[in-house]
Amino acid sequence: EAGVAQSPRYKIIEKRQSVAFWCNPISGHATLYWYQQILGQGPKLLIQFQNNGVVDDSQLPKDRFSAERLKGVDSTLKIQPAKLEDSAVYLCASSYQTGWEETQYFGPGTRLLVL
């Protein structure tokens, strides 16, 4: 079974530029998550999709971050304009549910450096 795919793996941009990340979840996983992981911290949820609907985006800085999941499969996360503090690893995860138990699987992440 193929895992969660993400691209690009690395990105370096200057502040105020825009950047977009792409995620392809595991086939059949209805729930997709974007996390931000700053060095030395645990992942922080930015947005959660159930199929193509947003379940939770309470921690998404909506003035600069946006995300979409068209057709309930692939997803993109965009930052515009980027700030220095956006330097982090952006992790995509997808999950399936068995009964009330849910398991999340992470992609390799995209390392973003904002200069």
Partner 1 sequence: QKEVEQNSGPLSVPEGAIASLNCTYSDRGSQSFFWYRQYSGKSPELIMSIYSNGDKEDGRFTAQLNKASQYVSLLIRDSQPSDSATYLCAVTGGGGFQKLVFGTGTRLLVSP
Site residues (CB under 8 A) for partner 1? 31, 33, 40-45, 48, 50, 55-56, 89, 91, 95, 97, 100-109
Minimum distance, C-beta of residue 35 to partner 1, in the bound complex (Å): 8
Q: Is the link from the previous residue into 61 a cis peptide, with omega within 30 of 0?
A: no
The set of long-range contacts for 97-103, using a CB threshold of 8 Å and a minimum separation of 24, is: 97/30, 97/31, 102/31
CA atoms within 13 A on the CB side of 95: 15
Helical spans, DSSP H, in 13-115 = none
Compare residues 80 and 103 and give the one whose CB is closer to partner 1.
Answer: 103
Compare residues 20 and 89 and give the one whose CB is closer to partner 1.
Answer: 89
Minimum distance, C-beta of residue 91 to partner 1, in the bound complex (Å): 6
Residue with tokens 């304009």: 81
Compare residues 57 and 74 and give the one whose CB is closer to partner 1.
Answer: 57
Minimum distance, C-beta of residue 43 to partner 1, in the bound complex (Å): 5
